[in-house]
Homo-oligomer: A and B are copies of this chain.
Amino acid sequence: MRPADLCNYPSSWFGGGSDVVSEVVISSRIRLARNIAGYEFLPCLPPDRQRQLLNRLKDILLSIDLGNKVFFVDIDQASDVERNLLTERHLISRRHAHGKGPRGVVVAEDEAFTAMINEEDHLRMQVFAAGLQLNACWERINRIDDAIEKKIDYTFDSRFGYLTACPTNLGTGIRVSVMLHLPALKLTGQMEKFINTARDCDMAVRGLFGEGTDATGDFFQLSNQVTLGVSEKQVVEDFSSNVVPRIIAYETQSRQALLEKRPFALDDKIQRALGVLRSACLISSQEALFLLSNVRLGVNLGRIKNINIATINELFMLTQPAHLQLRAGKILDADQRDTLRAEIIRTKLSPN
């Protein structure tokens, strides 16, 4: 399997079921940062040793049970468009895509597991799941982490825990995050409820593509900041039982308030979004994200019939720039991408 093979279908973990939780929580993700004993942190590791480490970790990962068929991508050798595709699918970070030197990624074919080698740390593993499934993510990544640790020694300090290239990850090396769709909180101007809850719980709010990206189209990543002095289980538990349920309640209340107090304004926003998506001949990825977000809200609230969430999710994923170019089989300029994007969306959302 090659990255290009992914460009025609959405990731399995890009969810949004029919229950209240999955309407708000698109996906869950747990990431572990690990470094290998006997190797300097990456900024100090010479290129030949980076290459050696890459091969060693790749071999280990390919030798253990990762719960799914996997494939390896040598990021340094990959084309720009392949690297961008992996980023658009959240399988690698922007840093990994645009970095330098020997580096790679092991990806499960269902995309629910990826392991970046030689990113900021030697090894950064992630497990994804649709909706709110942090416990399942934790069990899976913990099992994989143990299997790796049987084959190689991590840098570990009995007092600090796992040592990481950046002290913000020191200790558990865990980052737990959920991708949230909060259109009603944004529409009703109540984002501070979300932001304050996140801050009170020492959590970070980021955009759709993580660190350093803006929140677009009402999608937000919420993640833990504290990795030292708390157990992984505690972090997962706090997310699942405390923070996320509170935010789901805020968003659900806002949706109800919109339905009751401003039904025309709500329908206007939703129907216009669908109207533009069905008629535009040129559409940017930013605008598509924004409009699809409103249509998603409309489907969730039952204001739009005959369109299902799976179609919306597919469009979110497949209309991204690298996806379009791999689908077209050639490099497209911005105008060409905007034209193809509009065409795909019009076809998929056509009422006939």
Contact = CB atoms under 8 A, between A and B. Distances in A.
Nearest to A281: B268
Given A264-B335, A335-B264, A339-B264, A276 B272 contact: yes
Contacts of A276: 272, 275-276, 279
Contact of A342 (B268, B281, B282): B268
A276 B272 CA distance: 6
A275 B264 contact: no
A109 interface: no
A265 B278 contact: no
A112 interface: no
A92 interface: no
A64 interface: no
A200 to B, nearest CB: 37
A244 interface: no
Nearest to A275: B279
Contact of A282 (B264, B275, B282): B264
Contacts of A265: 281-282
A252 interface: no
Assembly of this chain: how many copies? 2
- Count class of interface residues, chain A: 10 to 19
Contact of A271 (B264, B272, B280): B280
Interface in A125-183: none
A151 B280 CA distance: 61
A274 interface: yes
A218 interface: no
B279 A274 contact: yes
A76 interface: no
Contact of A275 (B267, B268, B278, B335): B278
Given A264-B335, A339-B264, A281 B275 contact: no
Contacts of A268: 280-282, 342
Contacts of A264: 281-282, 335, 339
A267 B279 CA distance: 9
Interface in A202-223: none
A282 B270 CA distance: 11
A271 B279 contact: yes
Nearest to A351: B351
Interface string A256-298: 0000000011011001101110111110000000000000000
5 contacts: A268-B342, A271-B280, A274-B279, A275-B280, A278-B279
